[in-house]
Structure 1
Amino acid sequence: MAAKLSNLQPQKKAILIALCVSVVLMLAKFAAYFITHSNAILTDAAESIVNVLASSFAFYSIYLATLPKDENHPYGHGKVEFFSAFIEGVLIAIAGVIIILKSGYDLIYPRPIVQLFEGASIIGVTGVVNLIVGYYLINTGKNHKSITLEADGRHLLTDAITSGGLVVGIILIKLTEIFWLDSVISILLGLYILFSGYKLTRRSVGGLMDESNVDLVENIIDILQKNRKDPWIDVHNLRAQQYGADLHIDCHITLPYYFDLNRVHQEISEIDKTINGNADRKTELFIHTDPCLPACCNYCHMKECPVRQEDFRAEIKWTIENATKNLKHFDQ
């Protein structure tokens, strides 16, 4: 348990840094808005409120993810990270809608804009800071398999991109003196923010609904294929669920029917060691064993099988197509 908590300290540190930076940048952006009265800058400032709320919830969700399994949560608390990402995506989308409505109103009823270069300078600095912190969060999230950190990092990258576009737009407004461009740019950035919120929400809902992660399943099947042993006749009905940084896999393995319980336990333990020794995250396995049938003989590798009824003809390579079906391979 101590090792697990120690492993999660970088996640807490990263999200705490993001939270503190978000508060400072939010204040800077609102200062830029009060200086300029620019809707486009208000767009960026409003999104910063979302950054602060999202980082606060992300910090709490990472704390929950560190809690050990208990009677009410036998799989641990890792799925709270998907919920955290969902909340962040919804907040981003709401900010996008509000920005579009406010900018649409001001496009019809414009107001004076002043000191644009000063405002652009502040927004430019905040964009660079968000870019640095965003990449830091994404890298930390990938290293520690935290969807919460990745989501918060991608949110900050979105913020950095909108800040960059905003600076370009402000300079364009100043040079052309076409002030209605302020609201148009704000609406475009609002649409981009809305789309970013949708993508993040879609990914989190997929995780909450245990949507199949094809890349993850293919990786596990590839590990089994490369390290397969003769007694492992076939693997089928393989499914994977992600709970935060942990992975849970259940599958069926066909073994020779004459193996006793000790030998079956030995083979299952070997499969567990194979996956946990090669996968890039902690994996818990639930393996159901099936006895072989005479129809398995033609693809069974057992060299000195006392009950073989048919010669070995060819190996059936394990792929996502056959390993995920609930059928022995001769039935497929």
Structure 2
Amino acid sequence: MQPKKKAILISLCVSIVLMLAKFVAYFITNSNAILTDAAESIVNVIASAFAFYSIYLSTLPKDENHPYGHGKVEFFSAFVEGVLIGIAGIIIIFKSSYDFFYPKEIKQLFDGAIIIAITGIINLAIGFYLIKTGKRHRSLTLEADGKHLLTDAISSAGLVIGIIIIYTTQIFWLDSAISIALGCYIVFNGYKLTRKSVGGLMDESNIELVKDIVVILQENRQESWIDVHNLRAQQYGPDLHIDCHVTLPYYFDLNEVHQQISNIDQLINVSGSHETELFIHADPCLPACCNYCKMPNCKVRQEDFKREIGWNMENVTKNQKHFSQ
């Protein structure tokens, strides 16, 4: 079984067991705060099930209808998970607000705290495992599911502390107050996950990836690479796509242009951390480029070289040659 499928299947199975354990803790204690944790576990199970299907789709090879692969479904999966997390948080806040004014009897808090603590430790371990696997295999779905489980573990830790305080002080209205606070935390994390997934669905450029590419190009730039601009990067599941414009001497023939572009392609794939598909558009140089062009023995130079323009996020991502800045 592929590592990504194995990881999400483990997450799904563990989420089901932990959800049942948390509901047992709720029925034992009748605590709203514990119900908050149990309700979020339902989201964990649904999200893991959907994530498993999205990972299955993302591993399918490119075909005629999906020339960029199926990896973008992972952004949709993360979006669904974020929305479910947010809905769960809102429901928790409303229910806990009602019970704050109309409290119910709470019992056996110590037993409930033990169960929640155990589930929190398990979620912490599974969460780190999913994030590590997701980064290794460039899976947004696994990373999202892992971060969700870490959020769940943090919620459980806060919940256990709250239960201990309630148990020792016998101030039972704290149960609903803690539940409302955890609900707000859950909604916030759902928003962050949804925001990231929407960015991916809208083809938002991968800023961290672009930064890495700019550094690689700047550190390995050749004299014939006069400038690079309009650099963009997107991630579709495990697949990375980069497109940019490279200004080359206008007198290069087609073979030389092809060789220069191939050199850039190989540089990115050897020096970068991910296998990347590049689409590079070659621009001819203009007389205004001469003052920062380092091409030696150029027979058509119209102006002496003055200074090199360093490539950075500010100029490489703009859709214009550097002389026009």
Q: TM-score normalized by structure 1?
A: 0.96
Pairwise CA RMSD: 1.1
Secondary structure in 2 aligned to 1:48?
helix
CA shift at 1:295, angstroms? 1.5
Matches within 5 A, 1:1-332: 9-332=2-325
Deviations 1:150-196 (A, max 9, x none): 11011001100111111111111111111111111111111111111
CA distance in 2, matches of 1:182, 1:218: 46
CA distance in 1, matches of 2:112, 2:312: 56
**1:3 alignment partner in structure 2:** none
CA shift at 1:213, angstroms? 2.7
CA shift at 1:103, angstroms? 1.0
CA distance in 2, matches of 1:278, 1:56: 36
Quote the sequence identity (%).
75
CA distance in 2, matches of 1:206, 1:185: 32
CA distance in 2, matches of 1:212, 1:231: 27
Deviations 1:96-133 (A, max 9, x none): 01111111111122111111101110000000000111
Deviations 1:230-264 (A, max 9, x none): 11111111111111122111111111111111111
Task: Give the aligned residue type for 1:67.
Answer: L
Secondary structure in 2 aligned to 1:20?
helix
Q: TM-score normalized by structure 2?
A: 0.98
Task: Give the aligned residue type for 2:85.
Answer: I
CA distance in 2, matches of 1:190, 1:305: 66
CA distance in 1, matches of 2:15, 2:22: 10
Deviations 1:19-40 (A, max 9, x none): 1110110010011111111111
Secondary structure in 2 aligned to 1:285?
strand
CA shift at 1:214, angstroms? 2.2
What are structure 2's unaligned runs of at least 5 residues?
Answer: none
CA distance in 1, matches of 2:234, 2:306: 35
CA distance in 1, matches of 2:128, 2:223: 45
Name the count of aligned residue pairs.
325
What are structure 1's unaligned runs of at least 5 residues?
Answer: 1-5
Deviations 1:264-301 (A, max 9, x none): 11111101001111111121111111111122112112
Task: Give the aligned residue type for 2:229.
Answer: H
